[in-house]
Amino acid sequence: MNTDGPSSVIKKLVSDLTLTPVICLLVLAVVVIVVLFAPLIAPHPEAAILTDESFSLPDNVMLLGSDFLGRDMLSRLIFGARVTLSVALTISVIAFVLGCALGFFAAVKRGWVDSILSRSVDALISFPAIMVALIVISALGSSITVLIVTIALIDSTRVFRVARALGMDIVVQDYIEAARVRGEKMGWIIWHEMLPNALAPLAAEFGIRFTYAILFISALSFLGLGVQAPHADLGVMVKENMQGLLYETYTPLYPALCIAIVTLSVNLLVDWFLKATDAALPDEL
């Protein structure tokens, strides 16, 4: 059993703290504040048209200029980041709850249960994720609910493989056998024995899945099957303002830069976390 308490883990993280993770933490702190308080931070309403001129230059009213409809680009970025990151976080949480539960269940039960779950996941993974998402969303519509459920189910297959691999390593340990001898139920073993000892690599995998969810949502939105108007979304904003490049403005680059900054910050934090906790993700089988 992993005997490192929360205090020792925190000490490891603090001792390995360098400039890079500090900057990434500050960036993500700003992102969290923007997501939580977007209506209070944004200088203008999300859909307010402030000028008749498309792709106007920055001024005192619109600090980043206007988009293709004359809306304030800064306000759209704030609301777009809120939508994209909120949806991505919801997807990641659902994917992890489902994937970890089934992965640990397969590792504990083994036998035919493990075979059925693993082969089913293998069959789903064999199809390109973007193709599956396009088919499902085209058939059911591109509402936020359909978007979240579809991508969460796709991502849960990846989480399942990681959780199962971790569970297979943990379930053969002596403390698991001791828990079984004591008469502990499977749910207790998974929650109190397996999950705490797999928490570090699963936390790192959560960060990776979160960045993939952001990129997946943005890609679908860019293709017109993601978050729909009138809601702002970073992927949609890139697509809508592509013509701004013809007017020599940076309008379509702002949402793309936001996506890049957030995903890069999360990935750098994941690398730092893995090194600081000496955790490692298992190879996918």
Alpha carbons 205 and 156: distance in angstroms, whole number? 11
Alpha carbons 13 and 6: distance in angstroms, whole number? 11
Number of domains the chain contains: 1
What is the reported pLDDT for 174? Answer: 83
Q: In this predicted model, what pLDDT tens digit does every residue of 59-74 receive, in sequence order?
A: 888 888 888 888 899 9
Residue 59 is assigned to a structural domain of this protein: no
Q: Residue 160's pLDDT band (boundaries 50, 70, 90)?
A: very high
Residue 171 is assigned to a structural domain of this protein: yes
Predicted confidence (pLDDT) at residue 190 exceeds the cutoff of 70: yes
Residue 224 is assigned to a structural domain of this protein: yes
Over residues 147-158, mean pLDDT:
92
Residue 241 is assigned to a structural domain of this protein: no
CATH number of the domain where residue 212 is located: 1.10.3720
Q: In this predicted model, what pLDDT tens digit does every residue of 201-213 receive, in sequence order?
A: 888 889 989 999 9
Residue 157 is assigned to a structural domain of this protein: yes
Residue 48 is assigned to a structural domain of this protein: no
Residues of the chain by 3-state class (helix, strand, coil), percent to 5: 70, 0, 25
Structural domain span for residue 137 = 6-37+91-230+258-277
DSSP 60: S
Q: What is the largest CA-CA distance in the chain?
A: 74
The long-range contacts involving 48-52, CB below 8 angstroms and separated by at least 24 positions, are 48/72, 48/75
Token pair in block for residue 94 = 């659902």
